[in-house]
Amino acid sequence: LICRIQDFKVNLQHIESRPLPKKGLTEFLVRYEKHPNRQRFEELIKLLEAKTENLLVVGCDKPQGTLTDSLWFPKHISKLDNFAHKVLSYGSDLDADHPGFKDEEYRKRRKHFAVIAMNYKHGEAIPRVSYEKSELETWRTVYTKLRKHYPEFACAEYNTAFKLCERHCGYGPDNIPQLQDISDFLRGQTGFTLRPVAGLLSPRDFLAGLAFRVFHCTQYIRHHSVPNYTPEPDACHELLGHVPLFADPDFAQFSQEFGLISLGASDDIIAQLGTLYWFTIEFGLCLEEGQKKVYGAGLLSSFGELQNAMSEKAKNFDPDVAAVTSYPITKYQPKYFLVESFDDARIKLMKWAQKSNLRSYQLYYNPYTQKIETLENVAALKSIVQSLKGNHSLERFLGEPTITHILGSVSAKLYK
């Protein structure tokens, strides 16, 4: 193999070798200078892949289509502080067509919520909010109208989780629940937590939070003049559409997978991943005893969208198709995708990511250290598996699919 590498005019700087536990196998570490001819280098990589059981390329000479190490992403949950304030719109900076654009009191209120979110740091308690009469009335209108339709249209997992939110988080027509109360509850169910945000984050930043089981959540309420419409995510959308399902282990794992895939991904992959998120987490349907049910947040927080989704035909979820399907933002969705279960959707998402050749290594979120760990070799995999041995509490915290994820997709990648 060394001779083959030298045949491709690669200047070697350092070579190490050691025997592996698996009989007859040897692990090599080779450091080299950057190759001036990318095409020739990629030919070498293909040759080595055919001659080795596992090949890992780290550095700026990675074949095209894989990650480069220059793409920064947060490695610890506290690093979400670095971009949580980088919203696309916030505070009193409303567009001219926003229902509250000419309402000075509403703009002041939005600025108040923006200051709370901008000043928040990881580890702090989320400030409690005293909601005003108009905000409570808007919440009551939305809550009452949607609540009565959930038993018929929402999936079983949502209905179960919603009842828990009513019981433990203060959900009700006359009370807007506090983010800290919800966050404490979710942490005990699946490890998910909430973090206040002033407005819409970029897809890359928003998805990165999910990798740490953090959901960036707004606290402000839509303008009272149009309680059944909002041009942006608000507390009604977040708390009624998104939050309850984070108490379900399978859904929590599915959501986190979006985040893990996004870390360090190219802009093109982020765009496709955002589209997949749109057609699943935002506007997804699922099959329940042969009946079509709703789990998407955009449907669960809008009666009009809910009715439209139940009247339209849905295609079976195929990530390859959904990732490149266009969609409107300002009108009802003309296309929907149907999943068999959250776990089935998660597995399809993982296979899509593997086919997309995102990276030559796997990422794993360690809930104990709250860090993203890189699994580059079999030794790293074994270390994590060893730490999980006999730890039944982790299955409750992350859900059994996480163990499957580590032993399945990661080991397959390392041993291929």
pLDDT of residue 24 exceeding 70:
no
- Give the number of other Cβ atoms within 10 Å of residue 210's Cβ: 26
User: One-letter amino acid identity for 63?
Assistant: P
pLDDT of residue 401 exceeding 50:
no
**pLDDT of the residue at 347:** 95
288 carries a ligand binding annotation: no
Cβ–Cβ < 8 Å for 184, 243: no
The one catalytic residue in 98, 216, 224, 237 is 237
pLDDT of residue 366 exceeding 90:
yes
Extract long-range pairs of 231-236: CB within 8 Å, 24+ residues apart.
231/95, 231/97, 231/98, 231/99, 231/330, 232/89, 232/98, 232/199, 232/200, 233/200, 235/139, 235/176, 236/138, 236/139, 236/142, 236/143, 236/301
Q: 282 an active-site residue?
A: yes
242 carries a ligand binding annotation: yes
Helical H runs in 263-377? 267-277, 297-300, 303-311, 319-322, 342-355
Q: 392 an active-site residue?
A: no
149 carries a ligand binding annotation: no
Give the pLDDT band of residue 415 (cuts 50, 70, 90).
very low
Q: 202 an active-site residue?
A: no
Task: Give the residue-averaged pLDDT of 209-232.
Answer: 96
Closest of 287, 292, 290 to residue 339, by C-alpha? 287
Structure confidence by residue, pLDDT tens digits, 154-203: 999 999 999 999 999 999 999 999 999 999 999 999 999 999 999 999 99
**Contacting residues for 333 by C-beta, under 8 A, at least 6 apart:** 283, 298, 305, 308, 309, 312, 327
Give the pLDDT band of residue 92 (cuts 50, 70, 90).
low
Question: Would you list the domain boundaries of the chain?
Answer: 2-51, 77-336, 361-415
The one catalytic residue in 255, 301, 302, 356 is 301
Structure tokens at 177: 């629940």
pTM over 0.85: no
The one catalytic residue in 98, 242, 302, 356 is 242
Our separate counts of H helices and E strands in the chain read 19, 12
Just give the CATH number of 77-336: 1.10.800.10
**Contacting residues for 307 by C-beta, under 8 A, at least 6 apart:** none
Structure tokens at 390: 């006999």
Q: 288 an active-site residue?
A: no
Task: Give the residue-averaged pLDDT of 108-137.
Answer: 97
For the chain, give the mean pLDDT: 85
- Higher-confidence residue of 262 and 386: namely 262
